[in-house]
Chains A and B, each alone.
Chain A
Amino acid sequence: MTLNLVFFYFFSALAVVSAILMITRRNVVHSAIFLVTALLATAGIYLQLRAELLFAVQIILYVGGIMVLFLFVIMLVNLDVAVRQAAFSRQTWLAILLAAAMTGQVALAVWTGRASVTLPPVQAGALDPNTEIVGLALFRNHMLPFEIASILLLVAMIGAVVMSKKKI
């Protein structure tokens, strides 16, 4: 039980700190590395939530696939020029003000609506062989969305190839 708490707070702190570092670093490669740390910390949160399949998917797909794609593109576009230019736009304080307003709004909504919603108690161990249960649900109940997702990936692949061709 205590180990559970330690894991949760460790990974939460890691995710939040590396997310803050990601949006404040001047160098884009450093930002990408901190995003990798944040995604790995999120994978740790999934593992702590007993979602083992999502833990593996997160590491293989996000950290292994998407972030490598990001790093390739960072290498392709000109990095040296971008480092010397201003990193933040002129609307920084307005943006922070808007984020604070959004936080206040959500807090107000939670505070005023806290009595009207009652969640059932936690179902412990209901998803125990996680990969089997998720796989069965994915291939039985959600077969059509699964196939549509594969078509979406095909469209995105063609789109990416067309977009980065020199002459269409």
Chain B
Amino acid sequence: MIPTEHYLALSFILFTIGVIGVLTRRNVIIILMSIELILNAVNINLVAFSRHLGGVDGQIFAIFIITDAAAEAAVGLGIIIAFFRNRATVLADEMDLLKW
């Protein structure tokens, strides 16, 4: 039996990689994909604790987070398509309409 701490360490490593991806990349699509990676890391955490405590609630939560990720991806990609149609760019630092 692998200790639960190892799953938590894996989850934290994936979370940190996702955070670095969100903060460093310029392409908005890759930023969205990094957010998916972060949500995935959280799911590993939940499922590991669900196994550890013998309760099913962690897996239920993970299913709801996957639902959320699907909704977020659909809306986010719709926003990207709308923005690309108006400004012809997918780079995050060129999206400065609200900057002064």
User: Which A residues form the contact surface with B (CB < 8 A)?
Assistant: 1, 4-5, 8, 12, 15-16, 19-20, 22-23, 28, 31-32, 35, 38-39, 42, 45-46, 49-51, 53-54, 57-58, 61-62, 65-66, 69-70, 73-74, 76-78, 82, 85-89, 91-92, 94-96, 98-99, 102-103, 106, 119-120, 122-124, 126-127, 130, 133-134, 137-138, 142, 145, 149, 152-153, 155-157, 159-164, 166
- Asked whether, in the complex, the Cβ of B80 is within 8 Å of the Cβ of A42, the reply is no
- CB pair A102 B64 closer than 8 Å: no
Residues of B within 8 A of A126 (CB): 54-55
Measured CB to CB, the residues of B under 8 A from A are 1-2, 4, 6-7, 10, 12-14, 16-21, 23-27, 29-30, 32-34, 36-37, 40, 43-44, 47-48, 50-57, 59-60, 62-64, 66-75, 77-82, 84-85, 88, 90-93
A94 to B19, CA, bound (A): 12
A-B contact pairs, 6 of them (CB 8 A): A23-B17, A57-B63, A85-B91, A92-B24, A153-B67, A156-B71
Contacts of B17 in A (CB 8 A): 16, 19-20, 23
Give the docked Cα–Cα distance between A119 and B49 (Å): 10
Q: Are A134 and B60 in contact (CB under 8 A)?
A: yes
Please state if A73 and B29 are interface contacts (CB–CB under 8 Å). yes
Report chain B residues within 8 Å CB of A127: 50-51, 54, 56, 59
How far is A92 from B93 in the complex, measured between Cα atoms in Å?
13
Give the distance in Å from the alpha carbon of A45 to the alpha carbon of B19 in the complex: 21
Query: Are A96 and B74 in contact (CB-based, < 8 A)?
Result: no
Nearest 5 pairs of A and B residues by beta carbon: A123-B54, A163-B78, A126-B54, A95-B23, A156-B71
In whole angstroms, how far apart are the Cα atoms of A65 and B27 in the complex?
21
Task: Please name all residues of chain B whose beta carbon is closer than 8 Å to the beta carbon of A106 when the two chains form the complex.
Answer: 12
Q: Does B70 lie within 8 Å of A51, measured CB to CB?
A: no
Instruction: Point out the residue from B6, B10, B51 that lies within 8 Å of A122, measured CB to CB.
Output: B51
- Tell me, in angstroms, the Cα distance from A133 to B71 when the chains sit together: 26
How far is B67's CA from A161's CA once the two chains are assembled, in angstroms? 18
CA distance A1 to B100 in the complex (A): 60
| Given A23-B17, A35-B33, A159-B75 contact (CB < 8 Å) | yes
Give bound CA distance, A99 to B82, whole Å.
Answer: 31
Asked whether A51 and B20 contact (CB < 8 A) given A22-B33, A164-B78, the answer is: no
Residues in B with CB closer than 8 Å to A31 are 29-30, 33
